[in-house]
Structure 1
């Protein structure tokens, strides 16, 4: 069906081909735009995540450097050095140093505990009393590499103090040396509250659907916004961050069914890494939004292209469509309608040629109609010559007088009517008569048929008297009346009626012959109408229409031949009720 539609219409071909040529680049542009926008969205999301890691790293670096500076400041304190160098414990110095540590720690919210231990076994110095510390266990396990004389940062562990209770911390641990001899005299541990680091990570504004961790060189989670531990990493295919050689980077990882983007940034001061995970669906959702916008934009552009293409193609091909429609629906009986030429291009030249062809056809058609009319006129004249009308008229007059002498009045009237009927029918070969003569001829025919079919029908004529003097093609009403009597009234059992109407309507003469006979069924009526307009060699239609159709077709053809295609017979029927046959012809004055 689609192929047939494509082959039959030039407009369809042009529309489809141009739409393909326009929409294909639009779709390609949309796909490229979507991919660029998707890549740009992903790139922006990753850059935003990396910038967040850098900002958090700056804050943590500041904290680490502050602790480093604080440790140097504490070690260099004279009272601290004096307390650790003494061979015996000085409790006055102890109290003074503890107060110093408390003041120092209170100014730093992220400091959980400052602990100074003495190599000589003096009581340890605390800013808050430590009930239990996990630091000795880490040192015993060799977490510092087994070297007590190096500075190092511990992994997370738990401290229990009188102020904070149990708190997770990580600490800077470094030895304290004599300022003069650089002999090891103690150890300093500054513990950073992981809860404060967690608040820093929470304040970073990392994507709520993602994850963020501070991970040390042992691949252990130091802190996260939600307090996750190492178990959180086991659900993701996160590589060993200690083996990530670059200081920062981005990679795609798989975690179960979901894909994620991992970003990492190395803290310069510690070598620890900030690791953030963003679910791919975050920017995939943004990509869907971009895709929706792109689809709407492409859809609107395509719709506009379709409307404009169809409008312009319709505008260009409208003249061709007019020619095609007129050639397709052309009726040989009607004049070829001219088409207005509005351009001088190829289509305008084609329309001009079409108009010239139509004029030529109309001239040939007029010549043919004239030849046909002359031929029929010659045929009638030949028929009249064969009948010897004067002999026929004299014979009928003799029969009429004999009937009158024998007092057979009905026979005399019938023969008189027949004589008038034949005299009018022959009429010296003339084709036209007045309306009054045509009506009188029809009335004579009805008188003859009413004697033949007594008690079968009544008749009535209703003809506008103003039409009597106008000219009409003769022998039009009689065949219609004959058809009504023979095929409508004669075939029914009850008595019927026959009506003949004539009136002036819309500047033309309209005649109607109507009977109350058996009517025509729908199928036969369709065949009869088709037979009226069928070519002369359509034997099947002629046979289907029967004898009735032959007489009606003759009248129909004569009307169209003399008055044009719009003057043919119109037949309507209600089976079992009535049959109505009408025609309309222009008003003409009678010839002198």
Structure 2
């Protein structure tokens, strides 16, 4: 039962209409979802980039303030005096410590300030009593000329500083060499340390929503601060092996991973420091923000689909009911019994179909007779065309022998004429084929004109103008020669000028070939031309051989039977100016029709 229903028009129309509506609905929902995803992703990226700019501003403020503090300390007399005096007094040390406390007290982000003299008789002064600074190896910016510790200027990586007051503390230190103001000699080093926890709090206190992995990298791509303390001082590629290495721009976005597990990598370079902020946003974050829109889209599309499906089923049932009745009548019809009619209830397309169905029986009978008649006349015309040619096999073999004897007797004109006749007959046989190439048909016409020229030498001349690109096209066989024969036979009548010219030309345009045979003969009077057109257009059952013009009519009927009504002959003529016969046939690609 289900299989039978699936084979009905009702089922096919219902499925087709539902699918035709479902596809746009799903497409609209999918496009809406993609648009929401893009908008959400853009908003998240903008928020993330704004957050990183704020982080950059905060970090840049702290680092710039520390660098300015160091410059300020270098110019203080207390610092210069302590670093240049041998065995400085306790009061000098107290003045330096007091200065350091005054500077660091209002700045919670300063963990330690140390004054490191180059002199061996002076000790290092620190804001916090230092047990071990554990300064890390300095970046080797020039492997051939390493910078000594006393001359290094810049920020270090994270290192563990041990103090008496606070114990062990992960810090990032800014180091700046100190030179004497008068002599500009290296006299020591000033270091200012920031707790790594201070940088971490800045990274976590930002407006990048739902972003956990925010990293701060130095120039060497080492991690200065991160939520995961185990990542400190590790390189970015060691933490994320498959992260794109080329983050050469000041800021931007790139992708890490594929599919649903991919992440958006946002990066921003802190000016002057050349540090980078890196944050990773998982793709699932974008998805979660679009689920509500996706749910509403699915709900709306499902409700609309249910309503539309019910309407479609009702509509299809209303439209196909008459068609089902007609199908039932056709299924139960017998060949010898007229097809029963069905009442026509509308004037639309279905009503017109019912009207056509009611007259189907008569039309089928008429069409059967027409098809039978056309097939019979087509065979009869082709048979007459073949019968009109002299094609016994033994005849052109005999002609071939005559040609060779004429050549032996040096009768070249006779040999040429007999050779043309033999080729003419050989082409007429051609294994019974109805179609040939244009080149073969033209050669056949040339053989015929050569024979005629031998019969009446010097009385006419024919010119063949054939486009090369159509020579290998296929066309109906034995149509040009009868037309040329008709022109030669009728053109000589009452022609005073013994000179007579013919022209066969072709043209290819819009996938059609047009053939034209024209002459400068006596022409045809208007009344005779009208009668000629009427005769060649007569149906086969009304034509009689006594009417004449069998060659033109035969060609005309064969062209229409094989190519359609548009391919028939077009005849035009002017008294004393000649006659022109034209026909146009389509170009058929591929095999012979």
The TM-score normalised by the length of structure 1 is 0.50
Q: So what's the TM-score if we normalise by structure 2?
A: 0.50
